[in-house]
Amino acid sequence: MLLRFPQHGYGSAALDLLTRYYEGQLTDLMTEEDNETKENLKLPGNVTQAAAKDLPPLLIHLRDRSPEKIHYIGASFGLTMDLFRFWRKHNFSPFYICDTPNNITGEHSCMILKPLERNEIEGTWTAPQRYLSPFYQCFRERFARSLPLCFREMDYKLAMSVMDSRINFSDKDPVVSLENRSSMISPNDLRLLEAYTSGLKDYGKVRNLVPVLAQLYFQEKLPISLSYLMRDEN
């Protein structure tokens, strides 16, 4: 989508209409007989100018056209903060970001999806986000692991927006013990962290554990509450 007039609401209005159309909110339900009549309509082989006015129009109003039955809509674009905020505002979720930036623009290509609510489609879940959630969580884990590698030069504010990590955990949330993460945190690592928090070890001794703790946090497997500033410093 080319937004020649940013922040005037044209893009938002267009996306809203597109979503509502494919969710069946803008189309009057047509009977099967009406659909068959339109599908079986054929043009004559030789058409005169006099008969041209009787031909069906090339363009018809969306109210007179049944939308295709699709499960989601998507888009791809060069990743920038403004564009990402625009798409996230309209409930699109990223599922792929190219590891290498574009040679000309320097931007990473980003692909996003938005599930649609179409209950009449066979096989549609009652919660459209349900089938997208596993892909989104898998993307977030891959993106977090790639941050110090492929996305090292990415602006941290943009990276944090892509991660969209949870920073507040209620008292009702289950507490995840680091001892249960033995594949990433060993008992010796835990003793080092305890010594560091007690002032018995300096930061250099536990610095190698910071990426591991950050990864657990951004995967929402370390339910601690951080401010936005503390989260960004990770």
The strand pair at 93-97 and 109-115 is best described as antiparallel
pLDDT band at 210 (very low <50, low <70, confident <90, very high): confident
DSSP alpha helix (H) spans, the chain: 10-22, 32-39, 49-52, 81-89, 129-146, 156-163, 187-197, 203-206, 210-218, 228-233
User: What is the residue-wise DSSP string for 72-113?
Assistant: EEEEEEE--HHHHHHHHHTT-EEEEE-SS--TTT-PPEEEEE
Residue numbers of the domain that contains 134: 10-26+56-163
Average pLDDT over residues 16-36: 70
> Taking 60 as the threshold, does the pLDDT of residue 137 lie above it?
yes
CATH of the domain at 114: 3.40.630
Residue position matching structure tokens 């209409």? 17
* Residue 180: predicted pLDDT: 56
C-alpha–C-alpha distance, residues 202 and 137, integer Å: 35
Q: How confident is the model over 90-102, as pLDDT tens digits? A: 999 999 999 999 9
Structure confidence by residue, pLDDT tens digits, 51-104 = 556 677 778 777 777 888 888 999 999 999 999 999 999 999 999 999 999 999
> Looking at residue 234, what is its pLDDT?
54
- Separation between Cα atoms, residue 119 and residue 142, nearest integer Å: 32
Burial of 130 (0-12, 13-18, 19+ CB in 10 A): exposed
Strand order in the sheet with 93-97: 72-78, 109-115, 93-97
Least confident segment among 22-26, 28-32, 100-104, 229-233: 28-32
Q: Which of 163, 197, 225 is the last residue of a domain?
A: 163
Total residues found in the chain within this entry: 234
Q: State whether 17 and 98 are in the same domain.
A: yes
Domain-terminating residue out of 163, 195, 221: 163
Residue 185 lies in a domain: yes
Q: How far apart are CA 158 and CA 77, in angstroms?
A: 14
Higher pLDDT, 136 or 80: 80
* pTM tops 0.75, yes or no: no
